[in-house]
């Protein structure tokens, strides 16, 4: 009985002292700028991996938001997985997302925006969420 209690107590302290975070990409994975990186390229170039079910009819929609979540740039109907941003962005933190557009029954149907998902745990507490990819623009 005493040994079981000690083992249980050790496991409780081990769980309380454990912390961690697991992250993964959801949707189209960005190539550049990658998550959290500083970028100084002028003009800014966005690049991403192709959609998981690419076809000749697949197009892309990209959007960039500033730190206050206002969309400052958008481009749609892109055939390539690389895009040169035609607008000069202000310096600072920006988020960006890309989503596929599929031609279904002669109509463009958008897929999901890509996101970075995470699961974290601190002791016996845990949580999950997602957020867009971000970069720091330093022209």
Instruction: Give pLDDT tens digits for 105-116.
Output: 888 899 999 887
**Cβ–Cβ under 8 Å, residues 97 and 132:** yes
Report the domain count for the chain: 1
Q: Residue 40 and residue 99: Cα distance in Å, rounded?
A: 24
Q: Which structural domain, as residue segments, surrounds residue 121?
A: 2-137
Distances, alpha carbon 115 to alpha carbons 23, 24, 99, 129, in Å:
10, 9, 10, 10
Q: Residue 46 and residue 28: Cα distance in Å, rounded?
A: 13
Residue 133 burial by CB count (10 A; 0-12/13-18/19+): exposed, middle or buried? buried
Please give the average per-residue pLDDT across 1-11, as a whole number. 65
Instruction: Give pLDDT tens digits for 39-59.
Output: 998 899 999 998 877 666 889
The total of other beta-carbon atoms located within 10 Å of residue 67's CB is 11
Q: Which candidate, 114, 118, 138, 116, places its Cα nearest to that of 128?
A: 118
Confidence of residue 124 (pLDDT cuts 50, 70, 90): low
CATH of the domain at 111: 2.60.40.10
């Amino acid at each position: 009985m005493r040994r079981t209690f000690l083992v249980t107590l050790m496991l409780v302290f081990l769980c309380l002292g454990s912390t961690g975070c697991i992250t993964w990409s959801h949707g189209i994975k960005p190539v550049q700028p990658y998550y959290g990186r500083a970028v100084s390229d002028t003009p800014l170039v966005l690049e991403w991996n192709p959609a998981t079910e690419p076809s000749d009819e697949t197009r892309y929609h990209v959007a960039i938001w500033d730190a206050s979540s206002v969309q400052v740039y958008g481009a749609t109907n892109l055939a390539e997985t690389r895009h040169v941003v035609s607008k000069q962005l202000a310096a600072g933190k920006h988020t960006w997302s890309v989503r596929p557009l599929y031609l279904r029954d002669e109509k463009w149907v958008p897929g999901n925006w890509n996101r970075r998902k995470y699961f974290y745990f601190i002791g016996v507490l845990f949580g999950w969420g997602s957020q867009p990819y971000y970069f720091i623009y330093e022209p």
